[in-house]
Structure 1
Amino acid sequence: MKMLCMTIEIRQLRYAVMTADAQSFSRAAAILNVKQSTLSRRVMFLEDQLGVKLFERTTRGAEPTENGRVVIELARRIVTDVDNLRTTARNVSYGLQGRIAVGYCSPLMAGNLKFAFVDYLTRFPDVQFDGIESGPEKLLHGLQSRMIDVVVAPAGLEAPGLLSRPLWSERLMAVLLDDNRLMGNERIYWPDMRREVFVVPSGGLGPILGNLISARLTEQGYRPNIIYQDSSIESVLSMITAKRFVSITTEASQGVVWPDLNFREIYDPSGPARLEYSLYWRGDNENPALKHFFKLIKERYPG
């Protein structure tokens, strides 16, 4: 009897796992930075090789089949083991003891996040520390796919199997030029900024800040003018010198001296406006380097 020789690539398994986590071929392709047609073709080839239909394909996305869920969980363990093998080999070659991938979307110029990262790097020099800056949605997918161990992001992220704890809050600041009319205000409240044109990044904290501006300033017959720029917060703040825009950011952006720019606190009726942050991780993540991170966070921010 002739045996069929079947070679399955780790890449195929990774594509299938990410598709299951994202529940969409297009979202999985975007996260993995590959063409959707390539990812879809590889997954279909894997299905042919295994003789199992892994996904129900609908207009809403890709839902794992009953048999597919079993195969995908096994594929997930294989992918994780391979990633751990590669990481261990790389760490041994560099004399490192473990690795942690930390996702974040807040500016690292100053503030609690910068201090926490510096503290960890100082106290655990033999741990490979990989910082991953992105928007909350991609960071959430990174947690679900186990590519990221822990995420520091604004409060409000939710997903099955995800745990969280509050961290800190940061003051929200209006970023203005010297000659802006608001500079004469003793305090700046949200309604004071209704006539302004806002510019925020399209990534990182940008969408959250944009949603916040809309929530605070939208009223009957009026929507705030918000421009999203596909650039860093540093580039966005530099645009304000064109005298056409203002922006909002957190107090962490004050870690760099910005000529001609003024950072003024924004006030709610109850006091200074703040953005709350939380720590997010998977409950089944047993990475020892992550336990070190938890210990540090508990010491610095007992909450």
Structure 2
Amino acid sequence: MNLDLSSLRSVLAAAEHGSFRQAATALNIKQSALSRRIRHLEEQFGVLLFERSSGGVRLTSAGTSLAPAARRLFDEIDDMITAAQLAHRGEAGVLKAGFGTAVSTSKVRTVLAEHIKSFPAIAIQVTERSPAQLAAALGTGDVDVAIVAGEARQHSGPTMSLWSERIVAALSSRHPLSNSEVVDWSDLKDETFLLSQWEPGLDLRNLILKKLAAPGDAPKIETWNASNENVLGMVEAGIHVSIHFESWTSLAYSGVRFREIRDASGPSHITFTACWEEHNRNPALARFLETLRQTHHPTTLT
């Protein structure tokens, strides 16, 4: 049976107004057209839906049973249309976001919270991976967007520079420099730096070399295949020093002191980068990128 939705709407309008004439006016159609629609539906169902009289119309018991179901059907259709429109505008759907930094310790957490609050119909699936794994996931579509600290070296597609964070030194509370509010890069020239191979280890290594390397005198750097949390655990135990970006200062290591590092040009920073694939047409991705451009792209900051 092919159900004519216009006939159902005519039934509901007639039930609401108690008159075919008034219902036709409300629907902006001729009364004869409305009458034909309703008669066609009655013939399909094999029942009378209205009692007709010179004073108007009223639902029969069959019509009274039909009307609530018809209203629910149109409510569901309206919800379906709204959901489709939201998805088309990127205000609903699923966004698969990958991060090369701990969500719990970085500004990424704030970015996600803001986006979820603005677009509650978007479901965000979060994963943490290495930059190389994120680049591969972008290519396969397992991730729509990735945010990494530093440069996106393994990604050849479009990128967007986001916010930057200050670089801080991580020192054991027993280290003499831990009593200083600010540490100069030159104060660290004789230290051994302990870094994680994980993101953004290479960017931090390059920064150390840029600040401290001299002809015939390279800084001492050890790189471990361990998480940044484990690196900080070693620093807390008194093994070497490390550098991180400032959001890591929220971690609770009672034996670690975080101190801003400066030189003549001021504090050092690391920039976060968003990456995605040009061919990805997920509207939820387009909406998220627009949010990043409006609220977190450096050119929009004052």
TM over 0.5: yes
Counterpart check, 1:265 vs 2:227: no
Contact kept in structure 1, 2:98 and 2:128, CA below 8 Å: yes
Match of 1:236 among 231, 234, 253: 231
The runs of 5 or more residues in structure 2 that have no matched partner are 1-91
Counterpart in 2 of 1:119?
Answer: 114
Q: Deviations over 1:124-167 (max 9, x none)?
A: 44433222323323322322333221121245336786222221
TM normalised by structure 1 equals 0.61
SS at match of 1:179: coil
Counterpart in 1 of 2:43?
Answer: none
Pair member with larger Rg: 2
Contact kept in structure 2, 1:134 and 1:203, CA below 8 Å: no
| Residue correspondence of structure 1 range 239-254 to structure 2 within 5 A | 239-254=234-249
How many angstroms apart in 2 are the aligned matches of 1:134 and 1:165?
A: 19
Contact kept in structure 2, 1:134 and 1:204, CA below 8 Å: no
How many angstroms apart in 2 are the aligned matches of 1:183 and 1:236?
A: 17
* 1:169/1:282 CA distance change after superposition, 3 Å: same
Over the aligned positions, Cα root-mean-square deviation in angstroms equals 2.5
How many angstroms apart in 2 are the aligned matches of 1:285 and 1:199?
A: 38
* 1:173/1:161 CA distance change after superposition, 3 Å: closer
Contact kept in structure 2, 1:172 and 1:248, CA below 8 Å: yes
Counterpart check, 1:103 vs 2:98: yes
| Residue correspondence of structure 1 range 1-303 to structure 2 within 5 A | 98-157=93-152, 162-185=157-180, 187-301=182-296, 303=300
Deviation at 1:223, TM superposition (A): 2.3
Q: Deviations over 1:162-195 (max 9, x none)?
A: 2222210000000112221223545322222111
Deviation at 1:206, TM superposition (A): 2.1
Query: In structure 1, what residue type is equivalent to 2:267?
Result: P
* 1:134/1:226 CA distance change after superposition, 3 Å: farther
The runs of 5 or more residues in structure 1 that have no matched partner are 1-96
Q: Identity percentage over the alignment?
A: 28
Deviation at 1:107, TM superposition (A): 3.2
Counterpart in 2 of 1:68?
Answer: none
Aligned residues: 208
Contact kept in structure 1, 2:180 and 2:259, CA below 8 Å: no
* 1:160/1:112 CA distance change after superposition, 3 Å: closer
TM normalised by structure 2 equals 0.61
